[in-house]
Amino acid sequence: LPRLDAYLNENCDLIVIQPGDNIKSEYNSQADYEALFQYCSEKVPNAKIVTVGNFWRVVQAEIGKNAACVNKGLSLVDLTDIRDDPKYQCGMGTLVYGEDGNTHSVTGTAVAIHPGNYGMDKIGKTR
């Protein structure tokens, strides 16, 4: 958790947390989520914390995240409505900007199924 300190400072007024999408098992990590939420709220007590639901279904991870949000009184952006809908995914052949500043075409399935621009816009507008 201390590795987050570089990002958590008194200037933060909003913290968006989206853990869990890359959990490959049915591990219910409620205690871990609660520890993360508590740490962030202690570091930046005046910031609003919003948690984003999973884009992929991992039932136990979602149960843990949802329960932790309820216990800590945090908002949860539910992505159930856009999950599994290709129009919200990046898609094969989509042009993206890499960390190197260059444009690249998406050629890998794992990248293609992530949210694309339309998906990210929908996530940002979901309450």
What pLDDT is recorded for position 44?
Answer: 95
pTM of the model: 0.79
pLDDT mean across residues, the chain: 89
C-alpha to C-alpha distance for 104 and 14, rounded to whole angstroms: 31
In eight-state DSSP terms, residue 89 is B
H helices of 27-90, in order, are 30-43, 59-72
Q: Is the pLDDT of residue 127 over 70?
A: no
Residue % of the chain over a pLDDT of 90: 56
pLDDT in tens, 79-88: 888 888 999 9
What pLDDT is recorded for position 63?
Answer: 87
**What is the distance of C-alpha 15 from the center of its chain?**
11
Q: How many CA atoms lie within 13 A of 52 on its CB side?
A: 21
pLDDT in tens, 12-61: 999 999 887 777 776 678 999 999 999 999 999 999 999 998 888 888 88
